[in-house]
Structure 1
Amino acid sequence: MNFLGPHLPVSKMQFTLLPKGVMIFLVVGLFVWNSSAADSVRAPWITSKVKGRPGPEGAYQIERVHPKLKFENPVELVAMPGSDLMWMVELRGAIYAFSQRKSVAEKHEVIHLKSITSKFSSVYGLAFHPNFATNRQVFLCYVVGGAEPDGTRVSSFEVTDTYPPRIVAESEKRLMTWKGGGHNGGCLKFGHDGYLYISTGDASGPSPPDILKTGQDNSDLLASILRIDVDRKDEGLSYGIPDDNPFVKTKNTRPEIWAFGFRNPFKMSFDAELGQLWVGDVGWELWELIFRVEKGGNYGWSIMEGNHAVQPGLKKGGEDFKPPIIDHPHSEAASITGGYVYRGKRIPELRGAYVYGDWETGKIWGLKTEGDRVTWQQELVDTSLKIITFGEDHEGELYIVDYAGGLFELLPCAEDEAHLPFPTKLSHTGLFENIAKQQMAAGVHSYEIEMQGWENGAIARRWIALPNFSGIEVKGRHSVFPANAVILKTLFWPVDGAGEKSVLPIETQMLHYDGQSWNAYAYAWDAEGKDGHLIQKEGQIVTGAEKEMMAGSLVNSGDIDYWKFSSRSDCLRCHNSWSGFALGWNSLQLQGTPRAPVAVKSSWKALNQRELVVGRKPGAFKQRKAMTELEYKAKSYLHANCAHCHRENAGGMVNALMYFEKHTQDASLIEAAPLRGNFDLRDAKVIAPGDPFSSVLYYRMAKSGSGQMPHLGRTRVDIDGLNHIFDWISSMPVNKGKTTNSKDWVLRQIKTILAQEALSEMERDLEKLLENSQGALGLAYALDHDWLSTAQKNSARDVYNDIESSLSREILSRYFEKKIIYP
């Protein structure tokens, strides 16, 4: 069949719902689309124009150094004075020394901190004494146990004068402690004045913000930069307080404090030339912050998150707030990693620039200042690394440390690579033979996956293009892609037209592997469906004024409320290294199961025959057979929509593991305490067996705005997906010790309220029920299942307009708000 124009019939499309939005495609009744002849016989893809990167991001690149060395979860890199050795600190306690020679293949263990105490948990900071050559002292910041009052510790140790050196475990002298339990800070740096500076966080989890209310409370050591003298001891202390510390004479204030009002100042450094202190402070929900810290400064937390109010009603700790040198919205960064002012020689144009990065997005920036004014700021490179820290050698050259264990350096791009033209229109990519007809170029292959994610009501279609006859090397459950591989997904919106259901192209999302890292791009289709235009890196929200876009046209016709094109950095927060970057292109998604076979042309055998994949097919996941149908579909849903973040090390802020292969009982879901707030849910758990209305997972899926899940990409609640998770949780056996079930109680109340004849009585009782979020979940469930008459819906709207609970409003806003709540 040939289809002219963008209106592609879907009347013959059949698929099985997981629920709606998680589609397991069947062998029969598939989409019938225009595609290249290469779907049956492989042709080389020789038309590619997708090379380089758009804009200034291509000015620099990263390059692996010391490739023979591998570290496990490194957190700090420090040059050893008087030596060519660098020391790498691993989170779980191992510290290694290795030579800076690039050919080095050997690392030497200096100490493992589990030898100090069996309660050891993690280590964050290391600093050598300024007089290390004579006193051989090194300082460590490490954590023991959980949220113990003295859980975070700073100690000094002696280092042997041998090669390789060793830290003498028995030489520990504890200097100070503060509360553990999260946001420990833990960075150690000596200033030009010879004093030790120590960063401390607010000792809280991510949410609610600053639960200890310590950000502006200077009676403890938390949420501060401390400054101490390690070369003398004041009475009752293991260190001295410098006389010029700003609060030595202030009542109810710890004299160690140099500056305060930080959330989690995870990394800090001194400018080797000017002596200025730079701090990267990991932000809360919206902003990431870079501060240049001054004596006695108040940096706002938790009244402020940089320049933006969080808890304005709190009592200020003193002094006017110091603004950040720069703040990044979460569309650009989500977990800032402080760096260094570059004083090396390798990149002259960056000399004097503060270079820093982001753990979540892998981006690296540089900025220069005059006084407090930023005179230049630029994204230097967009990487796929989890940037945990930077290191500086004795020559001022910088190193980038990837949490996956690699060590990298920043270099200018080669001239030809930096100026490659990047296609700003889909028709210029070399992926299409006839773009208006959605006909792909030879060598561009369509494929289908087993478990699709929620696309806000749109229908997804996928392609993969590999240069020439190159293939993807499969190693177990991991894939190695050739340089300049492209994975393409177009989202189509179903509309009524010409007497049958049709679809219109609204957005095409493209992943490009440049041989070094994956990069993500979005193209917006024009209103005629004839071409797609590259969206700027910050993304865009289309509300209807953009009549030249298909998205704008659909807003104006009432098909959608708005459309959000995600920023490139947001795309890469999900398409991360721990999820394999290409979320749909993996053996789990492609091999299918007897319950849910993928299309014949997407089967592993067909892909292997066309040499798109090279290697042995991974074994099937055995636990599938033991799952009930409800669990199978629920885990499929969570895998497709949540697992890219909710897996080990992938950026999820809680330890809930949602990838399909993880056994449900071992995934920190069932009966797990919520770590980012309970949202006023009685007996709240991440999943409360038998009780969706006490399950934070269900609440986050049901709400809109800040705190919703998934929090990236989702602009509409997936009603069918929500109902399936409801059924799955409800099917779980309730713990014997639980005497009440919020779901049962709330739904009985809803039915009783709706049975009343007088609307005034219904409104009165409904107003009482909506005072808490569980009542709001009950009303939302009733609305989703059409329990209310038109008159009752109007009365419920009146009640909604008067309720004060923000938690309830965030559940019900999708029914009653004209104002759009953007996630």
Structure 2
Amino acid sequence: MRFQKNREDESTGLVRRINRVGSFFGLIGLLAAPAFSAEPYPCRQTETPIRLDGKADDPAWRHAAEIPNFVMPWVKEGDTEATTSTKAKLLWDAKYLYYFAEMEDGDLRATRKERDGELWLDDVFELFFKPSPDQTGYYELQATPLGTLLDIYYPDREPGQYDTYKNKDRFGHAVKVVVNGTLNDDKADTGWQVEGRIPWTDFKPTGGAPKIGDEWKFTLCRYDYDSRFENKQQAELSVSEDTMVIRDFHKHENYGTLKFEGVFDPKTALPADLQKIGGLDTNLVGSPDPPLPYRAQRALEHIPISRLIDFQFEPDTKRMLFIDQPPGTKGSRLVRLLDRKTGETEVLMQSPENTFYSIEFHPKFAENGRFYLSAFGQMSSAREQRRVQIREYRMTRDKAATVYPETMKVIIEWDTWGHTGGAMAFDDDGYFYVTSGDGTGDSDTRLTGQNLSVLHAKVLRLDIENPDEGRNYSVPPDNPFLDLENARPETFAYGMRNPWRMVWDKKLKRLWVGNNGQDLLEQVYLIERGGNYGWSVMEGSGVFYAERPRGPHPFLPPTFEHDHGVSRSLTGGMVYEGDVLPELKGAYIYGDHSTGKIWAGRHDGEKVTWNEEIADTTLGISQFNNDPVTGDLLVSHHGNPNDGGGLYRLVPNPPDPDAKPFPKKLSQTGLFKNVADHEVRDEALPYKVIVPQWADGAEIDRFVTVPTDNPTIPFGGNRGWNFPDGSVAFQTLSLGGKRLETRVMTKQDKEWVGYSYAWNDAQTDAELVPTEGGEIALNDGKTWKIPSRIDCMNCHSRAANFILGLETAQMNLDVDYGDGFVKNQLAVMDDLGLFLRHGAAKRTSTMRGTPETNSRLVDPFDETNPDIDARARSFLHARCSGCHREAGGGNAMMHLQHFQGPEKFGVINAEPNHGNQGLEGDDVRIVKPGDPSKSVMFIRCSKTGPGKMPPVGPESPDPKVVPLLLEWILQAKEEPPAESGD
């Protein structure tokens, strides 16, 4: 401010504002007002630069000390607190002094645009600093709602100094302003915010940047003009320091003290018990099951391969062709391995426009040099729709290995919106087989699975040696559907979703095909001529959409099948022909891209004779093959070089003499200090969720741990948080004061696995429950069912990132930690350092924004909340969206996360695809607004037995759900019909 003369006291003639509203925007704040007059204001250091946006949303601001109330200490009588709220914070780093102020203002006024002009005649925020007690110089800086600045250095205090020094020095002072309202009119305004930085070079006249521990003198002040004042030119003036008993900010002897501190560790502000929470290494390592017979060992690691898709060996040579995707490149490339010893390779073809998926050599490659690639993409810049092409090329067979692009011809092609297929194989008669996917990204929305009139969702059989005129193949005369009207004659089998990898079994004279499932199951088929494999009426052996149109042939079951607890993206394999692993010779070997598991199976032509898991790896499996040189069983990992991408061999897995036995008792897990008293380790974080699961009335205590070598969690996202390996989430369920079971989820090798421990009658310990689950007899004659490990993983879906409840929207609530300490749970985790840090900023939060700005569910059963839609959506998100989301296990076209819009939400006026649950009439819907009796969701969430939701878990419906859904459906608004779901 300037030296002001003949101004009447700002405390007179003011209309006090009643019910003043101000947001508490500091997580680490001081409660008294004014806060820092007696004690120095702690200006805390930030390890990361502040990005100016006027919002103070950089993580460091959350740990800056707050000045929560400005005052008028010169007022002799009455309330000295300003009538309009001002909150301010300061931070510093090696380059800048930062400030942020949030000001309530119902009448925003600012017109002056000249830098260093008379800004005190507008609404303005001001800062005064006197760095050195040994020097007379001090600084004045101002910012208005227009973003206009004033910055002056006064070498001494003397009359007329404003005119003398206002344009003398050049400052690097910069700000960003956010105006909540409209300047200079009568519209309702709420306030403004300013975020600024001042480089230490601006303070060069008094010594520049401070050191930790240095103290300066300072004060902050604010002018607030308001039309409510009798004198429209009158402003309310308020300051941060109650030592300013005279309204003269050039009297720096009345300033408060500013102390420069190091980076603040918010953990120190938490109660002592919470400060103990941190990394914990438990004994939940390995598996209770016996070790598998094989493991993956790196092979040909000196070959430069990145994100390997397919690899095949040239017939009668030691040379290999492979398809990979180097980082930073588009599409894929075809590469030839020239020398196994040196790793010398040669790029034969680069394909930036599209991606190669599979390689297949002609049976007479040694004579004709013909080979085949399946390609996926737009194929040309003029074509928008993506397609799959099966292409033939010719190459020389010598070491130079020249591919002639001009020889390329398309054998067959089809359009696609998703699942491509593109696997290839030759049979003993030289006929050419090709797989095609259903052409969609989810749920066969084009209904191609059972449609024989299209090329999609098939195994095709072609004669490429005797092509018809005008195309590069003909149809073999014994194909199964030549006489079926409207059927594509190329079809050999149908009902496929996304057949990924195919191989001809020379002994069985049949094709093996691996097929990616949708929500619950993955399949392997030993193909029969003319077979219908069910998609999308069926998903393997399970019903998918029972009421969809069916092809004219009965459904054939999978030869091998695995649920999503162990397999989530099946990669078809090969028949092992080597001698290195004689017990596997002749077996079909296949695996999973997502879980890294590998299985082997045998079939005698009529039935399955053996099928077992043989290895559990960390590989993203994309292909299997026989190594013709060594006889090894090779597996490819679709990873980058720094992630171990490349080739592996299967080798016997000897027992690990150092392996610790998996805990059979809860007391052996390392999670508890005292199991009998249910006293968990100090390092474990107790947590709550806004919408807990229903477990037949059981009370649930929840905890989570992270490992000592990586005790952090990446924050954010709309799914469960991505915890590091070694993390454990566990909960104990009790009924009537008796502990029944403790459920444990442990993450190992990037995969979550669930186990249960059943408590004994004495309540002294709990025993590991077998794979198939178990039961506990209750005192009332009822039975408590403990889910199987497969049931655990059916709910803890891949689409939800497996871990339910531990997500932002569920964890964003205030928790009473005892002894009067109540704080937002996300903020506590942030203070504990549990959210992932980057680089050197080890004490800087990565929680984006504040708890208030992050997503949050509401309590569905809070009847005082009038927003019934938010309540119902929060319920559906917490209890149903683990499966009912894109690529979840819910087998429906509805996505029930709380943030979804009407189109994705897909329940209002949507027709059910899984029956009407006994409801009558053509107007039955998943949710029929205003009519619960016609709403399938209401029935399924309130019933027991077949058709209940959720299908696993509790035996009884939550009694609070019925009135919630009843009220929601009665008040639901009409929307256009959604895509069918349920």
TM-score in terms of structure 1 length: 0.62
Instruction: Say if 2:809 and 2:854, in contact at 8 Å, map to a contact too.
Output: no
Q: Which residue of 1 aligns with 2:901?
A: 664
The Cα of 1:639 is off from its aligned counterpart by 3.2
Q: Indicate whether 1:489 and 2:727 are aligned.
A: no
The Cα of 1:421 is off from its aligned counterpart by 1.1
Report matched runs for 1:310-709 at 5 Å: 324-328=558-562, 336-343=570-577, 350-357=584-591, 363-370=597-604, 372-381=606-615, 389-392=622-625, 395=628, 396-401=633-638, 409=648, 415-416=655-656, 419-466=659-706, 469-470=708-709, 472-477=711-716, 481=723, 483-493=725-735, 495=736, 503-540=737-774, 542=775, 549=776, 552-553=777-778, 557-558=781-782, 563-568=785-790, 570-575=791-796, 579-592=800-813, 600=822, 603-607=825-829, 610=832, 612-613=834-835, 615=837, 616-620=845-849, 622=853, 624=855, 629-647=867-885, 649=887, 653-654=891-892, 656-660=894-898, 662-664=899-901, 667-669=904-906, 676=913, 679=916, 701-702=941-942, 709=949
Q: Indicate whether 1:86 and 2:322 are aligned.
A: yes
Q: Which residue of 1 aligns with 2:251?
A: none
Distance between the aligned counterparts of 2:765 and 2:447, measured in 1? Answer: 50
Distance between the aligned counterparts of 1:711 and 1:359, measured in 2? Answer: 27
Distance between the aligned counterparts of 2:911 and 2:404, measured in 1? Answer: 39
Q: Indicate whether 1:156 and 2:156 are aligned.
A: no
Distance between the aligned counterparts of 2:365 and 2:514, measured in 1? Answer: 27
Instruction: Say if 1:688 and 1:695, in contact at 8 Å, map to a contact too.
Output: yes
Distance between the aligned counterparts of 2:602 and 2:658, measured in 1? Answer: 22
Counterpart of 1:514, as a letter, is Q
The Cα of 1:491 is off from its aligned counterpart by 1.7
The Cα of 1:603 is off from its aligned counterpart by 3.0
Q: Which residue of 1 aligns with 2:425?
A: 189
Q: 1:105 to 1:485 in 2, by over 3 A?
A: farther
Bigger-Rg structure (1/2): 2
Counterpart of 2:872, as a letter, is A
Distance between the aligned counterparts of 1:171 and 1:686, measured in 2? Answer: 55
Larger helix share, 1 or 2: 1
Return 458-467 or 359-368, whichever deviates more. Answer: 359-368
Distance between the aligned counterparts of 1:301 and 1:578, measured in 2? Answer: 21
Choose which of 417, 430, 434 in structure 2 pairs with 1:198. Answer: 434
The Cα of 1:702 is off from its aligned counterpart by 4.8
Counterpart of 2:573, as a letter, is G
Return 422-431 or 376-385, whichever deviates more. Answer: 376-385
Counterpart of 1:199, as a letter, is T
Instruction: Say if 1:366 and 1:377, in contact at 8 Å, map to a contact too.
Output: yes
Identity %, equivalent residues: 29
Distance between the aligned counterparts of 1:332 and 1:324, measured in 2? Answer: 16
Instruction: Say if 1:325 and 1:372, in contact at 8 Å, map to a contact too.
Output: no
Instruction: Say if 1:488 and 1:508, in contact at 8 Å, map to a contact too.
Output: yes
Residues 38-73 of structure 1 deviation map (CA, whole Å, 9 limit, x = unaligned)? 9445288888432211113555556899999886xx
Structure 2 counterpart SS, 1:49: coil
Distance between the aligned counterparts of 1:592 and 1:104, measured in 2? Answer: 58
Q: 1:144 to 1:711 in 2, by over 3 A?
A: farther
Residues 79-138 of structure 1 deviation map (CA, whole Å, 9 limit, x = unaligned)? 485864522589x99444468899999999943557xxxxxxx99766555566855653
The Cα of 1:175 is off from its aligned counterpart by 4.5
Q: 1:591 to 1:309 in 2, by over 3 A?
A: closer
Q: 1:156 to 1:692 in 2, by over 3 A?
A: farther
The Cα of 1:589 is off from its aligned counterpart by 4.0
Which ranges of structure 2 fall in alignment gaps of 5 or more residues? 1-270, 380-384, 838-844, 859-865
Distance between the aligned counterparts of 1:716 and 1:107, measured in 2? Answer: 62
Q: 1:391 to 1:44 in 2, by over 3 A?
A: same
Structure 1 counterpart SS, 2:460: strand
The Cα of 1:426 is off from its aligned counterpart by 1.4
Residues 214-264 of structure 1 deviation map (CA, whole Å, 9 limit, x = unaligned)? 48x7x8767653211123213676412335546668898765344456676
Q: 1:131 to 1:87 in 2, by over 3 A?
A: farther
Q: 1:294 to 1:606 in 2, by over 3 A?
A: closer
Structure 2 counterpart SS, 1:724: helix
Distance between the aligned counterparts of 1:64 and 1:433, measured in 2? Answer: 41
The Cα of 1:423 is off from its aligned counterpart by 1.3
Report matched runs for 1:284-299 at 5 Å: 289-295=523-529
Instruction: Say if 2:442 and 2:887, in contact at 8 Å, map to a contact too.
Output: no
Q: Which residue of 2 aligns with 1:757?
A: none
Counterpart of 1:488, as a letter, is F
What is the aligned-residue RMSD (CA, Å)? 5.8
Instruction: Say if 1:207 and 1:677, in contact at 8 Å, map to a contact too.
Output: no
Q: 1:718 to 1:131 in 2, by over 3 A?
A: farther
Distance between the aligned counterparts of 2:353 and 2:664, measured in 1? Answer: 52
Q: 1:60 to 1:733 in 2, by over 3 A?
A: same
The Cα of 1:510 is off from its aligned counterpart by 0.9
The Cα of 1:531 is off from its aligned counterpart by 2.7
TM-score in terms of structure 2 length: 0.54
Q: 1:593 to 1:610 in 2, by over 3 A?
A: closer
Distance between the aligned counterparts of 2:372 and 2:676, measured in 1? Answer: 66
Structure 2 counterpart SS, 1:437: coil
Structure 1 counterpart SS, 2:957: coil
Structure 2 counterpart SS, 1:453: coil
Distance between the aligned counterparts of 1:159 and 1:595, measured in 2? Answer: 72
Counterpart of 1:584, as a letter, is G
Which ranges of structure 1 fall in alignment gaps of 5 or more residues? 1-36, 115-121, 496-502, 543-548, 742-772, 775-806, 808-823
Counterpart of 1:526, as a letter, is N
Instruction: Say if 2:466 and 2:474, in contact at 8 Å, map to a contact too.
Output: yes
Distance between the aligned counterparts of 1:417 and 1:485, measured in 2? Answer: 24
Instruction: Say if 2:621 and 2:636, in contact at 8 Å, map to a contact too.
Output: no
Structure 1 counterpart SS, 2:756: strand
Distance between the aligned counterparts of 1:198 and 1:516, measured in 2? Answer: 34
Q: 1:470 to 1:253 in 2, by over 3 A?
A: closer
Structure 2 counterpart SS, 1:436: coil
Structure 2 counterpart SS, 1:233: coil
Q: Which residue of 1 aligns with 2:464?
A: 230
Structure 1 counterpart SS, 2:871: helix
Residues 572-592 of structure 1 deviation map (CA, whole Å, 9 limit, x = unaligned)? 354456544433344544443
Distance between the aligned counterparts of 1:64 and 1:646, measured in 2? Answer: 39
The Cα of 1:355 is off from its aligned counterpart by 2.7
Instruction: Say if 1:483 and 1:513, in contact at 8 Å, map to a contact too.
Output: yes
Instruction: Say if 1:369 and 1:376, in contact at 8 Å, map to a contact too.
Output: yes
